[in-house]
Structure 1
Amino acid sequence: MTIEIAEAEVAAEALASACQASLSKGTDVLGRIGPLETRVARTDAEIDAAQAIRYRVFVQEMGAQVPPDAMRRGRDIDAWDLVCDHLLVLDTSIEGDADEQVVATYRLLRQDVARHAGGFYSQTEFDLEPLLARHPGKRFMELGRSCVLPQYRTKRTMELLWQGAWAYALKHRVDAMFGCASFAGSVPEEHALALSFLHQNALAGGDWAVAAHAEQYRTMDLMPSEAVNARKALSAMPPLIKGYLRLGAMIGDGAVVDHAFRTTDVLIVLPIESISGRYLNYYGADAGRFAS
């Protein structure tokens, strides 16, 4: 089941009204479950906290390589941080400033902002220009740098990250979302089963087709279809990629090895009109499921 474009526009109108009501009450919280809440970072200190979490997960846990200055500061930082909005999940039960409460983050970059800032991060790995050119009237948003502290890797945290991203997308009338998602390790063949399943069953086509840059392209179609067991392939996938598939996402053609982060990246493509009706019903077409 998919949502039609007209329904998406109605949902956007509903959220715009809800956002105005929230602003009139003086709150910018996009969702709340128990002591956890999600919203966009308000201060430089909160952005710094998000970068610190990214450093702990990407560098200390996953072994990513970052520039010497970032190593010295203990932060994962790049030029896109200056122009992106930083979606946060905060644990309000922790005493202290809000920057000490940040337990998860997502980086959001709208097309209108990217246009004036030199493009999207994903463009360093995937050729987005043909995709964007085929949809001149649509608003795109990039999702990236998804990161959750180990002790908060729970269903409710992931629900709040998606709640926040969904509410943000509706507020800004986004028509499609995309972004890099990663498999651990820089050897695609180690993920042959999952990558082959994605290529054979979720490849973006037609107007949504997009591919890795030719010089970085690594084939995902590594196994014959008769050898690909769907259940085993799904269980071998990172939770984030599996979650995107459940929402109704498609996958770009080709993987890219990010040697600095020691990951194998694929491109997620998620038109709003393709989001599974099951999830629209769960979160609410107006993102009201966990709204404060």
Structure 2
Amino acid sequence: MPAPIAALPDLSRRMLQGFRLPMPKGLRPVSIPPEPLGRIGALEVRLATTPREVKKAQKLRYKVFYEEMSAIADIQTQMSRRDRDAFDAICDHLLVIDHDTRTKSGEAAIVGTYRLLRQDVADRYSGFYTANEFDVGPLVARHNGLRFLELGRSCVLPPYRTKRTVELLWHGIWSYVRAHRIDVMIGCASLEGTNPDALALQLSFLHHHARAPSDWSVGALPGRHVAMDRLPPEAIDMKKALHALPPLIKGYLRLGAYVGEGAVIDRQFGTTDVLIVMPVAAINERYVNHYGVDATRYAA
């Protein structure tokens, strides 16, 4: 996504159609298109268009975060079997749908999801979710005038953790970035486990080899900061470190993303989080060409 960027495709008009999710007082509904953003075979990527689809995404997140991984559910979460919070009502929800797999109700199955929060929406509500762990305010202030997008709650069902599913998710995000003229993407990415010493290799690799330059630097909140430089550079086995990193983080790094200063332990989700900062203009040109400057590679 290097500058200069070609003309924006005309998605904005279609994004003014029919979203009815309940919103906090004073906020307008997030606008989204009913059309798919991309398709590979039976898999389609698009934004959720109804509260029912958002609930399905929350159920998918529950399966991955609470049943497969080690997140700790409160009583309400256990009863509803949905991963949800107040941010869901103001976010767009990107979905990967498998038209060859049907639910008990006969609907195509949702097999992957990403949560998207634009800065203009966050500013009218209570800020970014990421701000609960990282001091993102100074970053946004330093780049006043740029449009930020927060990525979060990424998950895919185990059978669909394949290259084409990941490509569809990124195609959907790239389409969204183009439609809303996003300049910077941020978001928490997680390492499984809450013992930073057990994650010393991964954290040290990210600190020494992927840390953001000063202009894009973001620190963990003072009360939550966990040092990442647990090993000196010469003690890092590069091949082993890369192999140990989660695929999502490796994908971000391949795109050209940076990592913030310090990690945060999230005990509810059983993870150690790092902050991803991805200026659109810094994204590897190889991936821009792959998906198409105007997000046309997997256009439906």
Query: What TM-score results when the alignment is normalised by the length of structure 1?
Result: 0.93
Distance in 2, Cα, partners of 1:23 & 1:141: 18
Q: 1:41 aligns with which of 43, 48, 61?
A: 48
Whose helix fraction is larger, Structure 1's or Structure 2's? 1
Which is worse superposed, 97-106 or 243-252? 97-106
Alignment correspondent of 1:206: 214
Is 1:157 paired with 2:165? yes
SS across alignment from 1:3: coil
Q: Is the 8 A contact 1:45 1:99 kept in 2?
A: no
Distance in 1, Cα, partners of 2:251 & 2:181: 22
State the superposition RMSD in angstroms: 1.9
- Report deviation, 1:117: 1.2
Alignment correspondent of 2:129: 121
Written as runs of structure 1 = structure 2, the 5 A alignment for 1:62-101 is 62-95=69-102, 100-101=108-109
Alignment correspondent of 1:54: 61
Q: 2:141 aligns with which of 122, 126, 133?
A: 133
- Report deviation, 1:229: 1.9
- Report deviation, 1:21: 8.5
> Unaligned stretches of 5+ in structure 1?
none
SS across alignment from 2:53: helix
- Report deviation, 1:52: 0.3
Alignment correspondent of 2:175: 167
Distance in 1, Cα, partners of 2:224 & 2:187: 16
Alignment correspondent of 1:14: 8
- Report deviation, 1:207: 1.6
- Report deviation, 1:153: 0.7
Deviation readout 1:6-41 (Å, 9 max, x if unpaired): x23x2xx232x36669999x8521110000000000
Which is worse superposed, 90-99 or 134-143? 90-99
SS across alignment from 2:100: coil
Alignment correspondent of 1:3: 2
SS across alignment from 2:114: strand
Q: Cα gap change, 1:170/1:99 in structure 2, threshold over 3 Å: closer, same or farther?
A: farther
SS across alignment from 1:268: strand
Alignment correspondent of 1:196: 204
Is 1:245 paired with 2:253? yes
Which is worse superposed, 98-107 or 51-60? 98-107
Q: Which amino acid aligns with 1:14?
A: L
SS across alignment from 2:199: helix
Q: Which amino acid aligns with 2:145?
A: G
Q: Cα gap change, 1:263/1:19 in structure 2, threshold over 3 Å: closer, same or farther?
A: same
> Unaligned stretches of 5+ in structure 2?
18-32
SS across alignment from 2:8: helix
Query: What TM-score results when the alignment is normalised by the length of structure 2?
Result: 0.90
Q: Which amino acid aligns with 1:3?
A: P
Which is worse superposed, 187-196 or 115-124? 187-196
Distance in 1, Cα, partners of 2:169 & 2:183: 19
Q: 2:274 aligns with which of 266, 277, 283?
A: 266
Identity percentage of aligned residues: 52
Distance in 1, Cα, partners of 2:290 & 2:41: 17
Deviation readout 1:221-251 (Å, 9 max, x if unpaired): 0111011122111111000000000000000
